[in-house]
Structure 1
Amino acid sequence: MTQDIELGTPALCRLQLGVELRRLRCDAGLKSGQVAKRLRWSPSKLTRLEYGDNAIVEPEDAAMLCGLYKADTETRSLLVDYAWVTKTKQDRWTSTGEHPAVRPTIAAFVGLEASAAARREYEADYVPGLLQTEAYARAIHQTASKPYSPEEIELRVATRMSRQAVLYRAEAPLELFVILNESVLRRRAGDSAVTREQLEHIAEVSTLRNVLVQVMPFGLGVHLGMTGSFTIMRFGRSSVTRPIVYMENMAANWVVAQESIVDSYEHAFSELQVRAPGPQEAKKDDPRGNRGGLIRGYQ
């Protein structure tokens, strides 16, 4: 069993590696017992890999499975990179497909997000990536603690924009509930035009049936979100991926998978939802009755 709280770099790669290996096996029409027999592995070894329970995955094991499943070159390269990250605990650049410079950790996070059924997020400082405009995303990357080249900024912005497709899927779009600290809406990113466009975008996206955005006003005083931003991801019933909590700061990021801790964050988010003004209060601030009324009040 893996640790309860782990550095996000290897944890995200390990979890997404498990998701991809299970998908490849199912696409190949193979049962886990058949795979274990062909590779002369114990059945539990493959199960641990697919559940993401092994803290370290040998790149050779990932390569063997990709060969057995007849994965294409791009997929094989990425999954072997995931395994290397679990072993070295270091991210690295990879060069595959249409994106010449995508870190495995970024690819892993995007993959997990795409396979998630629901996402709950409290954000204290930034607009969440799934709600950002291109201009806002560009502005925050230009002022990041780690300097990025113009090319890397554009790649990161493009990746962030592509992630938002999960909100508009025809089948089972991601259920996104977000609570923003009031400071997120008051803090300018870029010039006033960028900030206004961003607020209008949040208000627009919040009208989607699968999206709910609430604001935690300063006037409500102290609350459970004051320990920092966090994201909870839960996966579909058919998925073997366990719910996780994701957190990050300037120095590092972390993944929490222990059920009791994940439940405590779910409880905290529920408490924040109760305290933050909801859709009914939003209608009071918007004569059209849109759920983005509270956000429009900050424009």
Structure 2
Amino acid sequence: MYSIAQYTDFFISYLKTQIIDKEPKNLYDPISYMMALGGKRLRPTLTLLTTEIFGADYKLALPAALAIEVFHNSSLIHDDIIDEDPIRRGKATVHKRWNTNIAILAGDAMIILTYDYLQNYEPNLCKDLIKAVNKMGLEVCEGQIWDVDFETRQNVTVSEYLKMIEYKTGALIATSMKIGALIAQTSQENCDLIYEFGLNIGLAFQLQDDYLDLFGDTLTFGRRLGGDIISNKKTYLYFKALEITSESEKELLKDLYAVRLEDNTNKIKTITDLFLKSGVAKATQESIKKYTNKASKILDKINIEEDNKKLLRDFAESLIGRRV
């Protein structure tokens, strides 16, 4: 077994060999641009790691890992259009650097490329991989439309928000791991369990993202804290606050999330203080711990070596314990 960082490096090296350089440039250049923007490469790393944990060579999983990462980035291109975001990973988003029409088509082409990469596998395995990716793809779309709907709905519950992030974020992480298990041809039980492990880690990962946006370390977070508040993005903390705060605090929160300001300093401070005083910040940390513990219990049931369980557990804890 290799280290997590080595699996990431293996994937990045493979990615560099797969750059598409052909016409029409206005389709393929945006794809190459998006894939070169970087990021954690979490999902393909998990695919390679899981393949080896279940006893196969990570190299077998490289095309599938690329498929997962290309699909993930296609969804980011479309997300940026929906959210009208101008910046992604410190650089212009595809629809800003080119235009919206080109970005839509580039994202569409990347979805097709996802299936092209999966054709590297023998027919029966390819069929299983496509089935897993199809389920994931639909859930990502369902999660995204819920996310859009929640921006204007007034009666969203915490459980609905959790279902949304399960589909939008958790499904990608869970499927990344299940694909590795399928390629390693482990048992169906192991495939199902590693999927559930990934799903719970995905939920904890997204809740940690929500938390860090306001309570992260400014020096390591890489951007100003409170970005979700500035853009009025309703995350777990917002919906939890509506569940547990007083009526007057609920109204204050709704009013603050309904306005856009030039100077957000007081807005961020007021909401931060409310989240701390009401116990929302603590409740979020408890939810993160809940899903991490659930993942750990699932991991205990998976039929792999104890050293490999420790590797997965340490990796999960590093994700949840991160400050960026």
Question: What TM-score, normalized to structure 2?
Answer: 0.28
Question: What TM-score, normalized to structure 1?
Answer: 0.30
Instruction: Give 1 or 2: higher helix fraction.
Output: 2
For CA contacts below 8 A with separation 6 or more, give which structure has more relative contact order.
Answer: 1
Instruction: Give 1 or 2: higher strand fraction.
Output: 1
